[in-house]
Chains A and B, each alone.
Chain A
Amino acid sequence: MADLLQKYEKLRRRHDDLVRFGADAVMLVNERLLSPTRAIINGRETILAGTNNYMGVTFEPDCIAAGKRALEQYGTGTTGSRIANGTYALHVQLEEALARFMNRRSCMVFSTGFQANLSMIAGLCGPEDTIFIDMDSHASIHDGCRLSGAKVVVFRHNDVEHLAKRLERHPAERGGRLVIVEGIYSMLGDFAPLKEIVALKREHDFQLLVDEAHSFGVLGETGRGLAEMAGVEEGVDFIVGTFSKSLGGIGGYAVSNHPHFDVLRYAARPYMFTAAPSPASMATTLCALKKIEAEPERRDILMRNAEHLQKGLKEKGFELGFDGAITPVVAVICPTEPAAVAMWNALLENGVYVNLALPPGTPKKLALLRASVSSAHTPEEIDAVIAAFEKARAAVADLV
């Protein structure tokens, strides 16, 4: 009998090779957090420029106080599922607050964004249905599709014509059709041509789900995401999001105006058969939501920082994965994988953390250094990140 972990031999060897270059990118430890943008890594004070802390709310005193209060009032954990003993007043309050913020009829809160996608996709779709997904979709979307047992059709990234062709070729037979796209694609920071996709509804019958994990809080006049920015909220049937990025917590949500949306509470297995998120998570998320609602200037600062980093890196001659608009994800394309790994290590040595993103988890097989900004970054920190990129490039000149 084959050893079950034998199949990862090649993967393991590749990882060992990467680690030989320097630090272990998948087991990097933040020894201490100093602020939303600073941590101690390998004993060194490091600027965090590879988080999803877009609104910079992870150290807000009132959110921390709300979390502490929830711990004292409700205890450390829920010890049960939402459909059993795990629904507390805080879960309901957060669902109501999110529904109001998103201007939707109903909201469901999940233990993570990953589970929100699994629940929604496998809850909405079954073997009789067809799902159309962008080929660069997040792992949780791919896995949700698999879990659903639906027919899955993939279209080229952000290619509306290709999607239209696919919709034509896969007519709704007995079941329904769901199209899934993302508000901001996490690797490159680009976003779906949502207006054009919604327009396809005039000729093709389908329901539309948008994963606003990275765009919630970031895009749109009031931070509701890409659907708001594109002015097509009416055409989007379901929105999924997460608390782990702009809201600085952990958990996920889905909102909709569908009158029967709540049936998913007792139909979606990844919602039903997992413990409800902890009271402290609900309390800090609720507080963070109020904060980003009350302080829209955070979004303006975020966008200024994003433009600063994007422009700065471009001026220094770095090739970016996407620069068609300003978004808080700024991905530098490296010529080769070894160059990316070496530069990532050199950045760390220069006190800057970014995400190292390697194929096959990246679009178009790119070797990426994915930087992202927060509204909590100062202009000086952004300058320091740009300077560190230059230093890192010089340090690996023989590889570039």
Chain B
Amino acid sequence: MTTAHKDIEATIMRLLQAYNKEEAPLSPETNIAADLNIDSADVLNFVMEVEDEFDIDISVNELADIHTISQLAALVAERVNAD
């Protein structure tokens, strides 16, 4: 069974709330680092939580092209559904 993109987005948003200090509204188009004012170290921490949650691995290089929640969800879906 494949995990739906929407479900993944919802999980990502839930994990992201801990880093959303300014409580900015989240949408699939939210730019994780820029809109939420998260520094590079916390981006790494957040991504590790996503990796743990879905039991997948994401390399630092892949993150270079990921900006929005939707893009991250797409990468997670690709990983999860490949397993």
Contact = CB atoms under 8 A, between A and B. Distances in A.
B40 interface: yes
A32 B43 CA distance: 42
B19 to A, nearest CB: 11
Contacts of A174: none
B48 interface: yes
A145 B60 CA distance: 10
A365 B46 CA distance: 14
A170 B59 CA distance: 9
A151 B61 contact: yes
Contacts of A156: 48
B59 A153 contact: yes
Nearest to A153: B59
B59 A151 contact: yes
Interface string B22-47: 00000000000000000111101100
Interface size classification for chain A = 10 to 19
B4 to A, nearest CB: 23
A365 B57 contact: no
A169 B59 CA distance: 11
A365 B60 contact: no
A135 B40 CA distance: 11
Contacts of A135: 41, 44-45, 48
A317 interface: no
Contact of B60 (A154, A169, A359, A360): A154
Interface string A356-392: 0001100001000000000000000000000000000
Interface of B: 39-42, 44-45, 48, 56-57, 59-61
Given A152-B61, A360-B39, 6 more contacts: A135-B44, A135-B48, A152-B59, A156-B48, A360-B41, A365-B42
